[in-house]
Amino acid sequence: MKAAILREFKAPLAIEEVPPPKLDANEVLLEVEACGVCHSDLHVADGDWPQIVPITKRPLILGHEIVGRVVEKGHAVETLQVGDRVGVPWVHWTCGECELCREGNENLCANQKITGVTVDGGYAEFVKAPASHALKIPEGLSSAAAAPLFCAGVTVYRALQHAKIKAGQQVAIFGVGGLGHLAVQIAKELGAIVTAIDISDEKLAHAKSVGASVTLNIVSANVVKELRRTGGVHVALVTSAARAAYDAALPCVRPTGMLLVVGLPSESLCFPPILMAATEVRIQASSVGTREDLRKVLEMAAAGKLHCQVTARPLAQANDVLAELRAGSVAGRIVLTPR
């Protein structure tokens, strides 16, 4: 099969022919129809997340927003059939036995396997996955539109659920690219009044079209002043991987409000303790999502309440797409297709 292989950090992916994966009894083999290109893939490829480098498999096939058709299944698989269309997320497998799994936080399972990090992912013609963690795609939702929901969609969904947003509250989304444009829609569905912040007028225009009430270009507008004019926002969600986005977001949060950490810069974040104490701002991180979170996101999309701006590109252009993502020139999400 054809695959894009990471052999060394910071080196271009090699488009090669490799043997298709062999199945264990509880796994299925998928013929990939679409695989989203996530900013996390850049961090993995560049080796700039120190916590991830030691567990990164090499050689590695990247990609953790995967949708494909089951073409083969292990002899113990009963929940899926050949021909089923399913998705595979970042959380490839969880043990189901540890305390976090039992508490309903399987996305934090210490024993988990990670798609496109510890096991091969979807920048390929075929990928294998545990049948227990491959979720069926609703009819009427295209593979290209569904793929980004398996990371971008579920990540912002879980983060906003953590915030317990009430109707009429003010929510600011910092960065309205692949994750952010989905966050705008989910926040609006929760009843929030949404402000979208970015450096791209094109992305801001799209955010407006999918539900943002206000858009601010951080280059030309004093975002802190504008958002503090009405007392600050109840929730600021940062999807950008730029530390500067966090520096701008925290002062925009009203007292007792919440800063949601979703975008993951490679460098550490630093917040003034006096500002945090003076306003009792809460800082809440969120890590992808559980299978139950994913089911709810897929239901939203199937019901027409969540639409991903998506562009399909052939697998052979994987390095070009990563370069565009690194340059910040990608609107919405790009998915790779085998042909």
- CATH number of the domain enclosing 8: 3.90.180.10
Task: List the single range of 50-54, 192-196, 232-236 with lowest mean pLDDT.
Answer: 50-54
Q: Is the pLDDT of residue 321 over 90?
A: yes
Average pLDDT over residues 94-123: 97
At 207, the pLDDT band (50, 70, 90 cuts) reads: very high
Extract the tokens encoding 265: 């810069």
Picking from 285, 305, 322, the residue at the C-terminal end of a domain is 285
Q: Which of 331, 109, 306, 289 is nearest to 204 (CA)?
A: 331
Task: Return d(Cα 31, Cα 125) in angstroms, integer.
Answer: 6
Q: What's the pLDDT tens digit per position in 131-144?
A: 999 999 999 999 99
Residues 25 and 133 in one domain: yes
Give the model's pLDDT for residue 331: 86
Residue 85 has pLDDT above 90, yes or no: yes
pLDDT of the residue at 238: 97
Question: Which tokens belong to 55?
Answer: 């567990």
Mean pLDDT over 115-127 rounds to 98
pLDDT at 275: 85
Residue type, 230: T
**Average pLDDT score over residue span 117-138:** 98
Average pLDDT score, the chain: 96
Answer positive or negative: Cα dihedral of 297, 301, 306, 307: positive
Letter string b/e over residues 30-63, b meaning 16 or more CB atoms within 10 A of that residue's CB: bbbbbbbbbbbbbbbbbbebeeeeeebbeebbbb
Instruction: Look at residues 269, 285, 301 and tell me which one is the last residue of a structural domain.
Output: 285
Interatomic CA distance for residues 324 and 295, integer angstroms: 30
pLDDT band of 329, cuts 50, 70, 90: confident
Residue 259: CATH number of its domain = 3.40.50.720
Q: Are residues 135 and 171 in the same domain?
A: no
135-136/85-88 β-pairing: antiparallel
Residue 297's SS3 state is helix
Whether 228 and 312 map to the same domain: the answer is no
Q: Looking at the structure, tell me whether residues 71 and 212 fall in a common domain.
A: no
- Do 161 and 257 sit in the same domain of this protein? yes
Q: Which helix (H) or strand (E) holds 15?
A: strand 14-17
Mean pLDDT of 278-307: 96
Confidence of residue 20 (pLDDT cuts 50, 70, 90): very high
pTM over 0.85: yes
- C-alpha dihedral sign at 224, 230, 234, 240: negative
Asked whether residue 45 falls in the same domain as residue 67, the answer is yes
Section 192-217 average pLDDT:
96
Range of the domain at 173: 153-285
Residues 168 and 104 in one domain: no
pLDDT of res. 265: 86
**Coil vs helix vs strand at 130:** strand
Task: Please check whether residues 104 and 159 belong to one and the same domain.
Answer: no
Contact 70, 86 (CB under 8 A): yes
Per-residue pLDDT band at 37 (split at 50, 70, 90): very high
Q: 293 and 145, same structural domain?
A: yes
Q: Nearest-CA neighbor of 261 among 294, 287, 280?
A: 287
Same domain, 276 and 311: no
287 pLDDT higher than 90? yes
11 and 134 belong to one structural domain: yes
Please give the full DSSP string across 239-278, using - where no structure is assigned.
--S-HHHHHHHGGGEEEEEEEEE-S--SSPP---HHHHHH
Residue 152, both tokens: 């971008």
Three-state secondary-structure class, residue 78? coil
Q: Which of 285, 300, 322 is the last residue of a domain?
A: 285
User: And the tokens for 128?
Assistant: 């294998």
Report how many domains make up the chain. Answer: 2
- Residue 107 has which token pair? 């996305």
Which residue has tokens 């227990």? 132
Give percent of the chain above pLDDT 90: 92
What mean pLDDT is predicted for residues 118-125?
Answer: 98
Let me know: does 6 contact 44? Beta carbons within 8 Å: yes
| Euclidean distance between CA atoms 38 and 121, whole angstroms | 12
Mean pLDDT of 138-165: 96
Is the pLDDT assigned to residue 266 strictly greater than 90? no
Q: d(Cα 236, Cα 213) in Å, to the nearest integer?
A: 15
pLDDT at 339 over 90: no
Instruction: Assess whether 168 and 49 both reside in one domain.
Output: no
Is the per-residue pLDDT at 12 higher than 90?
yes
CB 35 within 8 A of CB 335: yes
